[in-house]
């Protein structure tokens, strides 16, 4: 076997993005655009030139297209979005592959996503290593695949699978991809196995576009369409996803591909796509923390957790699922009795969870690398537990608090090593929710902070670093939003007026439905703590207190802001009576509020407090706040987060609305959006 490398020099100085080799009649075209071979204009051009050179070489029977750096092609170069399309486009690359007179084999290692998998679909065959994954996750950015992926996919697998795969944006690992027909073979070594596959494949072209649609059940497909539309909450791109796959199985290939391309071009420049791209880049930016570039994380293998309630069990499941051994205890040992079964239920979908050990006391956590408290939100209880951590924890251990409101610096005073104390604020259910607020205390060491971000990455959480302040980033903003919504009740709105208007914006639930779900006693305990600390309850609507006093604690007692029958929320006359009494006490005459007014005031209450959080230095960046609200509090991602949304509003109108919701309190500075 002989190998010859062809020089890239003819491609020009800006296109040294591919390596071309010839191995006994097989052309190897290897992409070299680190770190993930993103489909930039220069890479697209280099692929076309490489295919052309190999196609015209008489020594070559077939071509293998593969990626360097452990990745095939992870998708488009998002930096090109928001700008005019430049040639060559991705469809030009697709055409070059299909028009090539020789078979092209996609050899996938790592990710083949979005445009990367569309290129693989244009090839005559697809092979992949065991660690590879394929997918068409363009919906992540509010668009549809625009280079024929929607038309080709149902020719490899059934229409239901194609629709589910596109709508869910999920990445399909090799074993499943093989069973679904998304790839043709799983291989071990590249390029050796790819060369062997190319020899066996022969010289005949086998375009996916020429295949018949894979068989599918029309009724099942109809059910899948309804499911996707319901899950998509009416977002425009979801309708385009459904239409693209429907056309693929009911129209000609060219008609289906052209229709999807038109949808892609329209959605590419939409406000929703811009918002979703903003969140994508915001997540990248959040991981860049000043002063940590040269700091190595501490080694962590075992997590010790105190608190076997719902939150503690959820946190335990999250760590176990990520491969960390967990020792779990509770201040009340009887609480451990049901913990193991609860955690096992949480871990039903985990592939290979680590070992869980239930232990009787805090002293049994002495050898843990991280000791985390997840007990009741009471400062005295948490300080006492942190002092116990200080006594038993080994040198170098991290002492973490899951507090969602309390002063982390005050909690840290209970220890002799405040530099080891950090806040790890999980969101319920902790094994599912993506957000993790990492709270940096005044004394938290850079290494402890760096280790916390490393833990978050392994947990696959969206991590945002917060400073110390009441409620940190998320809960402080949410409380301002909830207070504004309660104020609207006093003015004349009903709980369902507010919830319906908020849900119409794209929130999964309105504030009063959320309160009923989480428990009104929890909200009241926090409000009373603040009232006791400040002596001020003049701005608090008293209805929450009255509901709790009446044992109307939400869904768990069958009534709260609503009453519940067979799980369905219903308006409750008792709540209306409470609201009428509160209006009389406040001297307010009730009037109706239209949905648009409710939405504007709710959004501006969030924005106003978000600007104050930024001004106070609790959050480092506006984009960090957008991440917190979209990943932890149900703020609609298609709006890009509260401060991204605010930046799109006319400044004069925004300033006026912020003044309205601020009332006599602090008003945020819109200048921080510049």
List residues with catalytic annotation: 118, 138
CB neighbours of 628 closer than 8 A, spacing ≥ 6?
435, 437, 464, 473, 474, 477, 619
ω into residue 600 within 30 of 0, thus cis? no
Q: Exposed, middle or buried by CB within 10 Å (0-12, 13-18, 19+), for 389?
A: buried
Q: How far is CA 479 from the centre of its chain?
A: 23
Bridge partner list, 465: 438
Q: How far is it, in rounded angstroms, from Cα 149 to Cα 137? A: 11
User: DSSP 3-state assignment of 600?
Assistant: helix
Q: How far is it, in rounded angstroms, from Cα 433 to Cα 431? A: 6
Q: How far is it, in rounded angstroms, from Cα 580 to Cα 597? A: 21
Number of residues in the chain: 674
Bridge partner list, 126: 106
Structure tokens at 59: 């020594």
| Gyration radius of the chain's alpha carbons | 28
Contact indicator for 659, 314 with CB cutoff of 8 Å: no
69 φψ region: left (φ > 0), alpha (ψ -120 to 50), beta (else)? left
The DSSP string of 195-227 is: HHHHHHH-S----GGGSPPPP--HHHHHHHHHH
User: DSSP 3-state assignment of 20?
Assistant: strand
Phi, psi of 51, rounded to the nearest 5 degrees: -60, -40
CB neighbours of 212 closer than 8 A, spacing ≥ 6?
155
Structure tokens at 42: 């220069």
CA distances from 25 to 64, 199, 507 (A): 11, 9, 57
User: DSSP 3-state assignment of 21?
Assistant: strand
Four-point Cα dihedral 475, 476, 482, 487, nearest 10: 170
Helix or strand run (H / E) with residue 342: helix 339-346
Count CA atoms closer than 13 A to 83's CA, side-chain side: 9
DSSP type of residue 394: P
CA distances from 190 to 72, 129, 246, 637 (A): 12, 8, 36, 39
Q: How far is it, in rounded angstroms, from Cα 497 to Cα 504? A: 11
CA distances from 321 to 346, 351, 459 (A): 9, 8, 8
ω into residue 88 within 30 of 0, thus cis? yes
Q: Which has the closest alpha carbon to 16: 1, 26, 31?
A: 31
Contact indicator for 398, 453 with CB cutoff of 8 Å: no
């Amino acid at each position: 076997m002989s190998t010859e490398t062809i020089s890239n020099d003819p491609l020009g100085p800006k296109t040294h993005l591919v390596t071309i080799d010839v191995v006994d009649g097989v052309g190897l075209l290897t992409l070299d655009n680190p770190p993930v071979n993103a489909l930039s204009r220069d890479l697209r051009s280099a692929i076309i030139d490489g295919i052309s050179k190999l196609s015209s070489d008489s020594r070559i029977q077939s071509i293998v297209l593969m990626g360097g750096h452990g990745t095939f092609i992870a998708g488009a170069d998002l930096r090109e979005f928001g700008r005019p399309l430049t040639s060559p486009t991705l469809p030009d690359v697709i055409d070059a592959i299909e028009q090539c007179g020789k078979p092209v084999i996609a050899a996938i290692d790592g990710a083949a996503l979005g445009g990367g998998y569309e290129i693989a679909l244009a090839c005559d065959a697809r092979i992949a290593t065991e660690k590879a994954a394929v997918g068409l996750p363009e919906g992540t950015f509010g668009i549809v695949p625009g280079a024929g992926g929607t038309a080709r996919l149902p020719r490899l697998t059934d229409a239901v699978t194609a629709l589910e795969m596109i709508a869910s944006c999920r990445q399909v690992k090799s074993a499943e991809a093989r069973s679904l027909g998304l790839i043709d073979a799983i291989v071990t070594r590249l390029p050796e196995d790819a060369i062997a596959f190319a020899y066996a494949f022969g010289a005949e072209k086998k375009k996916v576009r020429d295949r018949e649609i894979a068989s599918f059940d029309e009724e099942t497909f109809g059910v899948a369409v309804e499911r996707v539309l319901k899950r998509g909450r009416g977002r425009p791109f979801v309708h385009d996803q459904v239409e693209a796959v429907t056309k693929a199985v009911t129209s000609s290939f060219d008609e289906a591909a052209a229709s999807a391309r038109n949808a892609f071009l329209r959605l590419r420049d939409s406000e929703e796509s811009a918002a979703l791209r903003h969140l994508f880049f915001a997540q990248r930016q959040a991981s860049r923390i000043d002063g940590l570039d040269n700091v190595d994380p501490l080694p962590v293998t075992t997590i010790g957790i105190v608190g076997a309630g719902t939150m503690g069990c959820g946190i335990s499941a999250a760590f176990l699922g990520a491969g960390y051994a967990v020792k779990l205890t509770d201040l009340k040992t009887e609480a451990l009795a049901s913990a193991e079964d609860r955690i096992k239920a949480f871990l039903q979908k985990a592939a290979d969870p680590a070992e869980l050990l239930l232990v009787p006391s805090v002293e049994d956590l002495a050898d843990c690398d991280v000791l985390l408290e997840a007990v009741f939100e009471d400062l005295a209880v948490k300080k006492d537990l942190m002092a116990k951590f200080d006594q038993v924890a080994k040198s170098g251990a991290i002492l973490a608090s899951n507090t969602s409101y309390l002063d982390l610096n005050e909690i840290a005073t209970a220890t002799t090593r405040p530099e080891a104390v950090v806040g790890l604020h999980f969101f319920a259910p902790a094994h599912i929710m993506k957000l993790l607020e990492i709270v940096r205390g005044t004394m938290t060491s850079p290494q402890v902070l760096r280790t916390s971000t490393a833990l978050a990455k392994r947990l696959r959480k969206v991590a945002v670093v917060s400073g110390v302040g009441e409620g940190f980033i998320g809960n402080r903003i949410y409380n301002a939003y909830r207070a504004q919504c309660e104020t609207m009740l006093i003015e004349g709105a009903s709980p369902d007026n507010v919830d319906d208007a908020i849900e119409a914006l794209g929130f999964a639930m309105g504030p009063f439905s959320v309160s009923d779900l989480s428990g009104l006693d929890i909200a009241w305990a926090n409000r009373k703590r603040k009232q006791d600390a400040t002596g001020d309850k003049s701005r608090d609507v008293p209805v929450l207190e009255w509901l709790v006093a009446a044992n109307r604690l939400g869904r768990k007692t069958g009534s709260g802001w609503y009453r519940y029958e067979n799980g369905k929320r219903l308006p409750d006359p008792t709540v209306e009576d409470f609201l009428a009494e509160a209006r009389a006490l406040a001297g307010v005459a009730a009037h109706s509020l239209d949905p648009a007014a409710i939405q504007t005031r709710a959004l501006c209450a969030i924005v106003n407090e978000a600007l104050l959080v930024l001004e106070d230095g609790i959050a480092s960046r506006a984009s960090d706040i957008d991440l917190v609200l979209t990943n932890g509090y149900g703020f609609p991602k298609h709006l890009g987060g509260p401060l991204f949304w605010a930046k799109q509003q006319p400044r004069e109108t925004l300033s006026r609305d912020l003044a309205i919701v601020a009332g006599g309190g602090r008003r945020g500075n819109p200048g921080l959006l510049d």
